Structure 1
Amino acid sequence: MDTLLLDETDTEAGPALTSDLAYIRLLLVNVFFVGERHAGDRKWVLVDAGLHGTASRIAEAAAERFGEDSRPVAIILTHGHFDHIGALADLARRWDAPVYAHRLEMPYLTGRSAYPPPDPTVGGGAMALLSPLYPSGPFDFRGMVRALPEDNTVPGLPDWRWIHTPGHAPGHVSLFRERDRALIAGDAFVTTRQESAIAVITQRPEMHGPPAYFTPDWRSARRSVEMLARLRPAIVATGHGRPLSGEGVRESLDQLAAEFDEVAVPRRGRYVGRPAVMDDRGTVSVPPSAGNPLARAAVGAAVALALVLALRKMRRQRA
């Protein structure tokens, strides 16, 4: 595909995308640091909080980039799925930092509701087949998380604004900065085929819709991609896959928006014909399951185990 990888400057804190935007990849998901190097205490923002067990790595990367004992002014969540909030409690307590998310994510982040169940029948690949095993909440961060300001400002980031981009999650947001057209898109779209374990490992850059197995509202997802394409971003940083820049990014995002129903929406699946119903109370109702998730999960587990064993063998051969 005609996209360009960013010219990345590698540091221990992860590749720098611009002078004040960097990221680290945590197994299968990215987290982002927004702030100049050596900014100091309360002069930067963390976007998303990765997987459970990664708090120390995130904190070490932050210390490397911003200075020892530096803390963020805020932690911003694009949404509350398990792979974006795994280290949240540890980090929020460690840094005494407020956490912000869209108000429609509050039921899932304050113990009131689980997300709609994943659909392992869509997308293909081991990551999709394993999705019934992923935590879907409810997660409880009461006393830590609060709603983003209604005026679309981003706490701690005066040059950025948040944009409501539902579909993958009801309160999903993306962050955009006008001056350099930098877009942190979360999982509104991604730059790898997240359903495939092979693609997750290789990180081949491709423009894709949101991870299919965790997307309960495809109509909203399409509208969100169309909205983001109209921004004409020059830099896109997504929750999964490598950040991309250049004219090819805009062309590929335009193509994804124009052909979304053909290339992103599964042909069939639990939420394809009818979305889950969600409101400020959380999940209200979901369509019936489209298949046998336990059987598919068992197959997925076998595939995943085979991949892990293959990777270990490759590492031993290289050693």
Structure 2
Amino acid sequence: MTAVTPPAPQHPPVSSFGGTQTLRADLVRVRLPMVNAFLLGEPGGPWVLVDAGMPGTAGLIRRAARAVHGDRPPELIVLTHGHLDHVGALADLLAAWDVPVYAHPLELPHLMGVAPYPFPDPTVGGVMSALSPAFLPGPFDFRPHVRPLPQDGSVPGAPGWRWLHTPGHTSGHVSLWRAADRTLVAGDAFVTTRQETATGALLNAVTEVRRPPAYYTPNWEAAAASVRGLEALNPALAATGHGHPMAGEPLREQLSALAAQFEARGRPARGWYLGHPVPVHAAQRGDPDPLRPIVLGALGGVAAAWLLWQARRLLH
């Protein structure tokens, strides 16, 4: 049976990009610019990478993995979903590690060059939302590495873990759950920072349970249902795609409050997708208004340059 260590303390979290934080004996957080990746598996044994960070961060991920697992490559990579900030370094990682990549079947069109995600929504409020046209919706193409997660809910290469379909942020979003110690890798089903703000996204300035990033969530009804489903599990530790891990009573109280009051705490006051949610039971395709990507394309270039400058400044 896997050895279980107590949940990680709330403070001080890892502060440097590329730094690692041991959450369980076999679960390590890798902090990256704007996002987290995770290493599943005890040092010295087989391990799995969860998510692949922003573009340009492959070196940080490989260096962190080497510090924990030496020169042993992962058995495979699991994606909670395929947004740019979770697959940005994937091509570079696959060039070094020729391993399979697993995702929910509804994510595969976005990861195999077939369909882009719905365009990010810069109208939901916050600086990062205004800059969200920089987060390209794809489609991305990682063939021939990509394959669907097993239908039985198991996570390849990670005994004891199960994947849970937690749609809303994307149609095929998944979270990873281990019932033995009530450990949750939530992806972006909920996060623990105010991702729509610059200080929240880049510095994780405040640690609190929050809705999924609003600028890239096209189905709020499904997002609410996913939060409620995860809250019902009563996780002891939650490692999220954005923000610092949370554990114990603060996690329980804040996740319960978000689940119970999602209409007030979760749904944005405005946004493109509030009245026209993207259906969950089909792969999300593009933007409902084809003019929006054209109009906002120039803003995306400016936003991308700003984000790159900020990330480089924080890395040094």
TM-score bin, normalised by smaller chain: 0.7 to 0.9
The correspondence of residues 264-275 of structure 1 with structure 2, limited to 5 A, is 264-275=266-277
Please tell me the residue identity of whatever aligns with 1:243. P
Aligned to 2:33: 27
Q: Which moved more, 1:282-291 or 1:186-195?
A: 282-291
Aligned to 1:223: 225
The answer (yes or no) to whether the contact 1:277–1:284 under 8 Å persists in 2 is no
Q: Which moved more, 1:85-94 or 1:255-264?
A: 85-94
**Alpha-carbon distance in structure 1 between the residues aligned to 2:70 and 2:15:** 17
Cα deviation for residue 240 of structure 1 reads 0.3
The answer (yes or no) to whether the contact 1:270–1:290 under 8 Å persists in 2 is no
SS across alignment from 2:208:
coil
The correspondence of residues 108-119 of structure 1 with structure 2, limited to 5 A, is 108-119=110-121
Q: CA offsets, 1:129-148, max 9 Å, x none? A: 00112111000111010000
Aligned to 1:71: 73
The answer (yes or no) to whether the contact 1:168–1:221 under 8 Å persists in 2 is yes
Aligned to 2:10: 5
Please tell me the residue identity of whatever aligns with 1:143. P
* Alignment TM-score, normalising by the size of structure 2: 0.87
Relative distance call for 1:292 and 1:99 in structure 2 (3 A) is: closer
Aligned to 2:5: none
The answer (yes or no) to whether the contact 1:33–1:45 under 8 Å persists in 2 is yes
Aligned to 2:4: none
**Alpha-carbon distance in structure 1 between the residues aligned to 2:296 and 2:15:** 41
Cα deviation for residue 288 of structure 1 reads 8.4
**Alpha-carbon distance in structure 1 between the residues aligned to 2:103 and 2:218:** 19
Cα deviation for residue 79 of structure 1 reads 0.1
Q: CA offsets, 1:83-109, max 9 Å, x none? A: 000111221231111100000001100
Aligned to 2:128: 127
Relative distance call for 1:294 and 1:280 in structure 2 (3 A) is: closer
Relative distance call for 1:116 and 1:245 in structure 2 (3 A) is: same
SS across alignment from 1:36:
coil
Cα deviation for residue 271 of structure 1 reads 0.5
Is 1:190 aligned to residue 191 of structure 2? yes
Is 1:244 aligned to residue 249 of structure 2? no
**Alpha-carbon distance in structure 1 between the residues aligned to 2:249 and 2:63:** 34
Identical residues among aligned pairs (%):
50
Q: CA offsets, 1:205-239, max 9 Å, x none? A: 01110000000000000000000000000000000
**Alpha-carbon distance in structure 2 between the residues aligned to 1:291 and 1:10:** 35
The answer (yes or no) to whether the contact 1:120–1:297 under 8 Å persists in 2 is no
Consecutive unaligned residues of structure 2, counting only runs of 5 or more, are 1-8
- Superposed structure 1 runs of 4+ greater than 4 Å apart: 6-13, 278-282, 287-293, 295-298
Alpha carbon RMSD of aligned pairs, Å?
Answer: 3.1
Relative distance call for 1:293 and 1:23 in structure 2 (3 A) is: farther
Q: Over alpha carbons, which structure has the higher Rg? A: 1
SS across alignment from 2:31:
strand
Relative distance call for 1:296 and 1:216 in structure 2 (3 A) is: farther
The correspondence of residues 291-310 of structure 1 with structure 2, limited to 5 A, is 294=296, 297=299, 301=303, 308=310
The answer (yes or no) to whether the contact 1:45–1:76 under 8 Å persists in 2 is yes
Please tell me the residue identity of whatever aligns with 2:25. S
**Alpha-carbon distance in structure 2 between the residues aligned to 1:151 and 1:201:** 37
Q: CA offsets, 1:104-140, max 9 Å, x none? A: 0011000000000111000x22211001121110001
Aligned to 1:56: 59
Relative distance call for 1:293 and 1:205 in structure 2 (3 A) is: farther
**Alpha-carbon distance in structure 1 between the residues aligned to 2:103 and 2:296:** 32
**Alpha-carbon distance in structure 2 between the residues aligned to 1:213 and 1:246:** 29
The answer (yes or no) to whether the contact 1:6–1:245 under 8 Å persists in 2 is no
**Alpha-carbon distance in structure 2 between the residues aligned to 1:242 and 1:293:** 35
Cα deviation for residue 53 of structure 1 reads 1.2
SS across alignment from 2:28:
strand
The size of the alignment, in residue pairs, is 305
Q: CA offsets, 1:17-76, max 9 Å, x none? A: 11111111111000000111233xxx00000000111112111111110112x0111100
The correspondence of residues 31-50 of structure 1 with structure 2, limited to 5 A, is 31-39=37-45, 43-50=46-53
